[in-house]
Amino acid sequence: MLKIFGSFVLFLYNMVTRTERIRVLWNRFIEEATLIGVNSIFIVGIVSAFIGAVTCIQIAYNLTNPLIPKSTIGYMVREMTILELAPTITSIVLAGKVGSSIAGGLGTMRITEQISALEVMGINSTSYLVLPRILASMFMFPLLVILAMALSILGGYLAGTLSGVMAPQDYIEGIRTDFIPYNIVFALIKAVVFAFLVSGISAYKGYYTEGGALEVGAASTAAVTNSIIAILLADYVLAAVLL
C-alpha cells in the first residue's frame, strides 16, 4: 500500500519536472478539456436532472406534517444537491466516464508502444500525456458540477410542480431561503479534489499497464473502482475538515 502510494507520488513528481513547452501543454489542455466537457455533458445533465427530480418527490413524500411549510421541500433539494449530490454523484459518474477513458487511452498507448515512442523522441511522456489530462479534469469537473447543481434544482422544480405536490412559488421561496454562498465554494473545492483523484488514479493505472488488450480492460475497471473509493473517502475527509 505504502509502496503504491510512493510510486504514485513519484509518478506525479515526474510529471511536473522537465515539462514540455507551455504552448504545447496549453494546446493539449484545450484538447483534453474539450473532450472531457463534450463527452460528459449529456450524461451529467441527465443524471443530475433526475436526481433533483427524485429528491424532490421523495422529500415531499416524507413531509406529510401540515405544520411544515411546502417551501421546505425546495430548501432541502437545494441543500442536498449543492452540498452533496451534485459534486459527489457527478464525480462518481465522471469516474466512470472520464476515468475509464483516461486509463483505457493511456493503457492502449502503453501496450502499443506509443508511450515508448514518445520517450525515445526525448519527450517526457507523463508531462505530455498525463499533466494536461489532470489539469483539464480539475478545470472541467467544477464546471460540470455547476451545471449539475443548476439542472438538479431545475429537475426538482419540474418534478415538484408538474406532479402537483407543490406550487411553483413554494419551491422558489424554498430555494431562496437561508442561502449560504460558502456551500457552493465547498462543493467546488470538492469537485477539484475529486477531479484530481479520478484523473490521477486513472492515469496512473493506465500508464503502468503491462501486457495486452485484456490488461487494458482490467486497468480501466481498476481505475473506476479505485477512483470511486477515493472519492467517497475524500468526501468524508473534506466534510469533516471543511464544514
The binder of another protein chosen from 1, 67, 121, 243 (CB under 8 A):
121
24 lies in the site for another protein, by CB under 8 A: yes
Within 10 Å of residue 2's Cβ, how many Cβ atoms? 6
> For residues 22 and 44, is the Cβ–Cβ distance under 8 A?
no
**b/e map 125-140, b = 16+ CB within 10 Å:** bbbbbbbbbbbbbbbb
Grid coordinates 422529500 are at which residue?
59
The binder of another protein chosen from 12, 54, 63, 123 (CB under 8 A):
123
Q: Report the nearest approach of another protein to the CB of residue 104 (Å).
A: 13
Vertex 18: Cα angle to 13 and 19 (nearest 5): 90
| Residues listed for the chain | 243
62 lies in the site for another protein, by CB under 8 A: no
Nearer Cβ to another protein (81/124): 124
Contact region for another protein (CB under 8 A) — 66-74, 95-103, 107-115, 166-174?
107-115
Contact region for another protein (CB under 8 A) — 20-28, 44-52, 71-79, 170-178?
20-28
114 lies in the site for another protein, by CB under 8 A: yes
112 lies in the site for another protein, by CB under 8 A: yes
Say which residues have a Cβ less than 8 Å from residue 89's Cβ, sequence separation at least 6: 47, 48, 51, 148
Q: Report the nearest approach of another protein to the CB of residue 110 (Å).
A: 10
Q: At what angle do helices 71-80 and 131-162 cross, to 10 degrees?
A: 170
Grid coordinates 466537457 are at which residue?
37
Q: Report the nearest approach of another protein to the CB of residue 113 (Å).
A: 4
The binder of another protein chosen from 2, 21, 65, 243 (CB under 8 A):
21
Nearer Cβ to another protein (105/200): 105
How far is residue 67's CA from residue 116's CA, in Å, rounded to a whole number? 68
How far is residue 103's CA from residue 87's CA, in Å, rounded to a whole number? 22
Each residue 160-199 as x (binds another protein by CB under 8 A) or -, in order, gives ----------------------------------------
Nearer Cβ to another protein (115/138): 115
How far is residue 140's CA from residue 132's CA, in Å, rounded to a whole number? 12
22 lies in the site for another protein, by CB under 8 A: no
The residues that touch another protein, with contacts defined as CB under 8 A, are: 18, 20-21, 24, 108, 112-114, 116-117, 119-123
